[in-house]
Chain A
Amino acid sequence: MGLSIGLDTAVKALRAHQLAVDVASHNIANAQSPGFSRQRVLLRPVGLDGSDHFTRDALLGRAGFGVNAKDVNRIRDVFLDFQARQSMGAKSQFGATSAALSQAELIFNDPSDDGMSKLLAKFWAGWQDVVNDPESAAARTTIVQATQTLTSRLQRARSELTTQRDDLNSQVNAIGDRINAAASELAAVNFQIKQVELSGDMANDLRDRRDVLLDELSAIGQVSYAEQGDKTVTVYLGNHELVTGNTVRTVQSVADSNNTGMNKLIFAIDGADVTTTSGELRGVLNARDRDIPGLIGKLDTLAAGLIGSVNSLHVVGYGTDNPPSTGLVFFTGKDASDIALNQALATNPQAIAAASGPNLPGDGSNALAIANLQLAPNMIGGFAAANLVPGEQIAPGLLTGLLAGAGSISSISGSYTGGQAGSWAITDDGLGNLSAVFTPTGGAPQAPVLATVVAGGTDVTLVPGLTLQIGPLLSAGTQTIDVAPAGSPVVATGITLGPTLTPGAYFITANGPNGLDLRFGSATGPVVGTATLGSLGTGAGVISFMSGLNTVATITVNNPNATPYSAAQQQADLTVAGNNTLQVEKAPEPYYADIVSILGADVAGAKGLADSSELMTSHLDGLRQSVSGVNLDEEMTNLNASQHAYNAAARVITTIDDMLDTLINRTGVTR
């Protein structure tokens, strides 16, 4: 071992500390670069055998061979990355939903002095003014204007919601593009990392870039990933692989055959749907396919309720014009997309049917009946405004012209007055006008009866007296239905429907041996509550439909018999046609107030979730930064330390130089 080794050791030190200065400089340069992880030179002493693996024995009594700057490592915690990416998914999901809902909230603009509730109030007030002065042209002009303002506002709100839905759909397409861009870059970076690290180097900055891309993808969708032996990362989106090595499975946006007018993302290679339970994509899809359509549906229900109920009364009234107009609908259209004032009334307000009979200019009773709808508990979701209750009889022709095309007849049965034998011939002109002709056996056909089918799925039953009975419909909380077919009947004495139920028809279907499902819209519609049946004793008992911990509906029954009312019998009784339908109805103002306040609660909820996941993300980002971020003071310290070490190593060289000088120039035989 000679002095040249000491020189060699010192040169190694110079190189190592110069590298440390370079690394500190790189760190300082990237102090504000997003996603950058600080780097450290890994300094290791070099052992006697030239490796950094040396034994105690080999070192005994000897110096080593200096320092080796083995690697430049980045300082990063992969577990923190994993946690942070999970909360990023939640943050962007709720952020996307709350942004969409907040925008929808602005469309309704309530409570305010010029929101839709005010326009509804003006509409009803307009009718009251017509009641006060049926002769007055001014009052009629006022109701025409109030109606036009209301209908155009409803149409505008509906079209704004539709536009918003289309915008969300475009966002889905854009998200597809972003997934492809990030995945493609990630695959390229994968390849580079593999190449660099194959030769034993550390691809620190490439890894930082890859982490940024993984962050991006995690914010978009539900992403899982794993680093492979070749240092590439395999990425899954949902359950489908997105990136393997340098291969990308690109996604593309195609028309969704199950969702008219909307697109869905699929993987180009096999056509599999892109599925995700979190991330911005989930948030956008939730808003596009659940929240906005829900609002559109409610707006349509409101409009359809107005159209149906006002029209049903308006068609039977008379105008003050000459000859008196009658049989006119007040609204044209079917829902919020096309609700409008009948043009015939807009041009001739005298034709507005304020009177109940012809040539009665001072009669505002029909207008009063229409104005009373404001107070009717069953306008929205009810079948027209006729306040239909079980067994109610409606005179033939009363509903003529109403709700053209709104429904079809599912079944008709009945008998003629006096129990005469004969046959019924029923024809439907397709416009909702139903003609029923009874022909007694061996007799001449009776005059046709005009009636109207009120809604789809509801049985219209012809009963003695040539009147029409509209199906077994129940208003909330008040009706009595006979639930046992024979013997001492068990009677339902009360039905209470929860406030969360949307107006409309509900069906009771069997669920297993001892259960009932309450379904919305039809017998195959979504389940909104389930009842678990048990045997009920004599007297009052309650059957409750639950959704989680909430009670959505209860039916109170009274069993007068000495024997218990078995679960099987309850199921049979409540699912039999005639007993299996509940009708939830609502007054217009509370219904509208519900739309607004439920939307408000949804917005507040989504914002709250977005805020809390934002907090979580921020916290985890802080931890990540705490591990990986650059602290300038720290780098200055390192720089300083490296500088000193460098200077010291240089001094070692000078010292050895002196020693060599002594050895070579001042010693020896020639002196």
Chain B
Amino acid sequence: MTNIRVTDHWRVIKQTEYLNAVSGRLDKIQEQLSTGRQIQRASDDPAGARLALQYRDTIDFEAQMRRNLDNGTAFMNITESTLDSSTEALQRLRELTVQAANSTLAQEERDGIAKEVDQLIQHLAQLGNATFGDAYIFSGHKTTTPAFQVTGNPPTAVTFQGDTGQRLHRISRQDTVAVNVDGQNTFGSMFTDLIALRDNLNAGAPPTTIQASIGTIDSALDRVILARAGVGARLNRFEASQATSQQTDINLQQLRSTIEDVDLPSAITKLQGQQNALQAALGAIGRTANLTLMDFMR
């Protein structure tokens, strides 16, 4: 059809259609600008929405990993400082034992040392019962039970009441890491040896017997220092994982934003364009609507 016949009714319909189309596009851009998002609904960009959901999932997951890392770090910080204090106590015990093994020492002086040993045993038991929130950190899975029970005063026995349960935290998609240390393995046997040492001191045992205790204290010290090193290593790993997770978060936020968020300069340019189009459409309608043959006939 070369020359289409335009009728008045059709002109009205088309003009309404043009205006609706232009204001529809204008509305879409305004919605994008006011929400700051170019994907309002999945149908705006189904493939983009799929990616955006995937990024959001990963972002949420990484945020939780950082929460897990924070929680584990706090737990291990307490463990670390407790083990530091234990190391100091054991070093003091070693000094005292070396002193007591000196054959020239009088019994009163040994009695004094025994008293201090006694205090240190109780101090160590107290350290073994350190808590994180409501949880006894050295009790394994039995965290509502104190790890060590002290019998008698002065103590005649210190018994381990926990278990070897591991407190696992997920720190990444692939890894779960135990944040606690085994209380029995770290402290357990030292108490029996220390109580024996104190009793020997009180009973005036020969220096060679006291001397033998230095070895046991040394091995206890080794175990505590080893545990402390293990915690330190895990803390370093947690710190590194934090940094990795944060970096991942930044990258994913950027990717998510590229897909979901509106590109302001381009949206504003488009807005301007649509406004011009609307103005032009209105102007054209205004000019042609009044044009009829009747104006030219008498």
- Assembly CA distance A633 to B170 (angstroms): 80
Known: A593-B57, A623-B1. A135 touches B133 (CB 8 A): yes
- Assembly CA distance A621 to B11 (angstroms): 12
Check A131 for interface membership: any CB of B closer than 8 A.
yes
B 59-80 binary contact with A (CB < 8 Å = 1; else 0) = 0110110011001100000000
Known: A121-B60, A132-B68, A362-B143. A596 touches B42 (CB 8 A): yes
Query: A600–B41 contact, CB under 8 A?
Result: yes
Query: A360–B54 contact, CB under 8 A?
Result: no
Query: Could you say which residues of chain A place their CB within 8 Å of the CB of B60?
Result: 118, 121-122, 125
Query: A368–B42 contact, CB under 8 A?
Result: no
Check B89 for interface membership: any CB of A closer than 8 A.
no
Query: Could you say which residues of chain A place their CB within 8 Å of the CB of B6?
Result: 626, 631
Query: B56–A111 contact, CB under 8 A?
Result: yes
Check A570 for interface membership: any CB of B closer than 8 A.
no
Known: A121-B57, A133-B135, A594-B50. A631 touches B8 (CB 8 A): yes
Check B53 for interface membership: any CB of A closer than 8 A.
yes
Query: A111–B144 contact, CB under 8 A?
Result: no
Query: B10–A626 contact, CB under 8 A?
Result: yes
- Assembly CA distance A357 to B140 (angstroms): 13
Query: A600–B10 contact, CB under 8 A?
Result: no
Query: A632–B293 contact, CB under 8 A?
Result: yes
Query: Could you say which residues of chain B place their CB within 8 Å of the CB of A590?
Result: 54
**Of the candidates A357, A371, A599, A622, which one forms a contact with B10 in the assembled complex, judged by CB atoms under 8 Å apart?**
A622
Check A447 for interface membership: any CB of B closer than 8 A.
no
Q: Restricting to A578-610, which residues have a CB under 8 Å from any CB of B?
A: 589-590, 592-594, 596-604, 607
Query: Could you say which residues of chain A place their CB within 8 Å of the CB of B57?
Result: 117, 121, 589, 593
Minimum distance in angstroms from B91 CB to a CB of chain A? 30
Query: A128–B67 contact, CB under 8 A?
Result: yes
Check A348 for interface membership: any CB of B closer than 8 A.
no
Query: Could you say which residues of chain B place their CB within 8 Å of the CB of A131?
Result: 68, 168-170
Closest to B144 in A: A361
Q: Restricting to A111-155, which residues have a CB under 8 Å from any CB of B?
A: 111, 117-118, 121-122, 124-125, 128-129, 131-136
Check B5 for interface membership: any CB of A closer than 8 A.
yes
Query: A102–B43 contact, CB under 8 A?
Result: yes
Query: Could you say which residues of chain A place their CB within 8 Å of the CB of B169?
Result: 131-132
Check A630 for interface membership: any CB of B closer than 8 A.
yes
Check A575 for interface membership: any CB of B closer than 8 A.
no
Query: A630–B7 contact, CB under 8 A?
Result: yes
Check A263 for interface membership: any CB of B closer than 8 A.
no
Closest to A608 in B: B43
Known: A111-B49, A600-B49. A633 touches B292 (CB 8 A): yes
Query: B143–A361 contact, CB under 8 A?
Result: yes
Query: B17–A362 contact, CB under 8 A?
Result: no
Known: A117-B53, A135-B144, A364-B167. A601 touches B297 (CB 8 A): no
Query: B170–A128 contact, CB under 8 A?
Result: yes
Q: Restricting to B251-298, which residues have a CB under 8 Å from any CB of A?
A: 260, 292-294, 297
Query: B61–A121 contact, CB under 8 A?
Result: yes
Minimum distance in angstroms from A621 CB to a CB of chain B? 8
Query: Could you say which residues of chain B place their CB within 8 Å of the CB of A604?
Result: 43-44, 46
- Assembly CA distance A626 to B1 (angstroms): 10
Query: B5–A362 contact, CB under 8 A?
Result: no
Query: B141–A622 contact, CB under 8 A?
Result: no
Minimum distance in angstroms from B239 CB to a CB of chain A? 17
Query: Could you say which residues of chain B place their CB within 8 Å of the CB of A122?
Result: 60
Check A640 for interface membership: any CB of B closer than 8 A.
yes
A 598-642 binary contact with B (CB < 8 Å = 1; else 0) = 111111100100000000001001110111011111001100100
Check A31 for interface membership: any CB of B closer than 8 A.
yes
Query: A600–B53 contact, CB under 8 A?
Result: no
- Assembly CA distance A42 to B103 (angstroms): 144
Closest to B134 in A: A135
Q: Which among A597, A598, A622, A626 has the greatest number of chain B C-beta atoms within 10 A?
A: A597
**Of the candidates A129, A374, A618, A630, which one forms a contact with B61 in the assembled complex, judged by CB atoms under 8 Å apart?**
A374
Check A355 for interface membership: any CB of B closer than 8 A.
yes
Check A428 for interface membership: any CB of B closer than 8 A.
no
Minimum distance in angstroms from B128 CB to a CB of chain A? 15
Check A110 for interface membership: any CB of B closer than 8 A.
yes
Query: A362–B8 contact, CB under 8 A?
Result: no
B 91-134 binary contact with A (CB < 8 Å = 1; else 0) = 00000000000000000000000000000000000000000011
Check A438 for interface membership: any CB of B closer than 8 A.
no
**Of the candidates A320, A593, A622, which one forms a contact with B4 in the assembled complex, judged by CB atoms under 8 Å apart?**
A622
Query: B43–A601 contact, CB under 8 A?
Result: yes
Check A363 for interface membership: any CB of B closer than 8 A.
yes
Minimum distance in angstroms from A312 CB to a CB of chain B? 20
Query: A125–B64 contact, CB under 8 A?
Result: yes
- Assembly CA distance A357 to B141 (angstroms): 10
- Assembly CA distance A144 to B47 (angstroms): 34
**Of the candidates B7, B144, B292, which one forms a contact with A629 in the assembled complex, judged by CB atoms under 8 Å apart?**
B7
Check B39 for interface membership: any CB of A closer than 8 A.
yes
Check B176 for interface membership: any CB of A closer than 8 A.
yes
- Assembly CA distance A482 to B103 (angstroms): 80
Check B142 for interface membership: any CB of A closer than 8 A.
yes
Check B165 for interface membership: any CB of A closer than 8 A.
yes
Closest to A368 in B: B168
Query: Could you say which residues of chain A place their CB within 8 Å of the CB of B205?
Result: none
Query: B43–A111 contact, CB under 8 A?
Result: no
Check A359 for interface membership: any CB of B closer than 8 A.
yes
Closest to B40 in A: A112
Query: Could you say which residues of chain B place their CB within 8 Å of the CB of A374?
Result: 61
**Of the candidates A106, A133, A361, A632, which one forms a contact with B41 in the assembled complex, judged by CB atoms under 8 Å apart?**
A106
Minimum distance in angstroms from B292 CB to a CB of chain A? 6
- Assembly CA distance A372 to B166 (angstroms): 17
Query: A597–B49 contact, CB under 8 A?
Result: yes
Q: Which among B4, B7, B60 has the greatest number of chain A C-beta atoms within 10 A?
A: B7
Check B139 for interface membership: any CB of A closer than 8 A.
yes
A603-B42, A633-B292 known, 14 other contacts, Cβ within 8 Å: A33-B9, A36-B9, A111-B42, A121-B56, A133-B135, A360-B142, A360-B165, A361-B142, A362-B144, A368-B170, A597-B49, A601-B42, A603-B43, A631-B5
Write 10 A-B pairs (CB below 8 A) sorted by A numbering. A111-B52, A135-B144, A355-B141, A599-B43, A626-B1, A630-B7, A632-B8, A633-B292, A636-B293, A637-B293
Sort A-B residue pairs by CB-CB distance and give the 3 closest, nearest first. A600-B42, A362-B143, A629-B7
